[in-house]
Amino acid sequence: MKKRYLYLFFLASFWAYSQTSSSGILTSFHQGAATNCASISAIKLAIGKFGINNVLKEIKTTQTGFHITLKDNSEIDLSTSEILRMSKLNYFVVGSDKDIFDYAQFLYAVMASRKKQIYGMNTIQRAATHKIFYHQLSMSTEENLHFLGLRDFVKRINKTDVENYDQIIITNKKHSVFCSKGIYDKFGTPTSVSLFEKNHGNSPINLNDNYILN
């Protein structure tokens, strides 16, 4: 019954919403107990750029879940049971927008499934918890955008320009966050970028490892 409910819930939600504001994305949901800031920043940037229901190219229902085509034309199959497992593993914390939160959970499962496919991992759980670039957070952030099928849209931005963008990911050696016009997502709280280095390990914003989607 739980799997069936989840299936119907996601099926209904995909066609109900589209664009949302950058300020709304900042507070919509945030990182919890898991060390998955790079995944969250990638998801928020993708939703900010394309809107709810538009991050992926095509979604078709199957007997067990969904057949999904990403914007880079890669294809994955995602079961409702995998979506449910990922919703328990991501530890996302709902904030001001339940609709974005729900869609973000689905996208997290998509990313894990694509990562599993690319690296030949046995299970989606393994893909979600394995940190390929554990010591290079900026690389992990860019890779997560690739797992969403957005490789062709990614553009690197110099740290001197990060406050000029309505939707951007900024990174340092400790953290990766979604940012809008000089305000970043500090675990769901809008916070000035001027405090980013101090708040996250006294590590400066990376010189060129900040990202927008064209």
> 185 with 178: CB under 8 angstroms?
yes
Q: What sections of 51-165 are H helices per DSSP?
A: 80-89, 98-119, 124-129, 137-147
- pTM of the entire structure? 0.91
Q: What is the pLDDT of residue 14?
A: 54
Q: Indicate if the pLDDT at residue 13 is higher than 70.
A: no
Q: Indicate if the pLDDT at residue 134 is higher than 60.
A: no
Domain boundary assignment for the chain: 2-129, 154-213
pLDDT confidence band for 10 (50 / 70 / 90): low
Q: Indicate if the pLDDT at residue 136 is higher than 60.
A: no
pLDDT in tens, 57-113: 999 999 999 999 999 999 999 999 999 999 999 999 999 999 999 999 999 999 999
Q: Indicate if the pLDDT at residue 45 is higher than 50.
A: yes
pLDDT confidence band for 6 (50 / 70 / 90): low
Tokens linked to 73: 């034309």
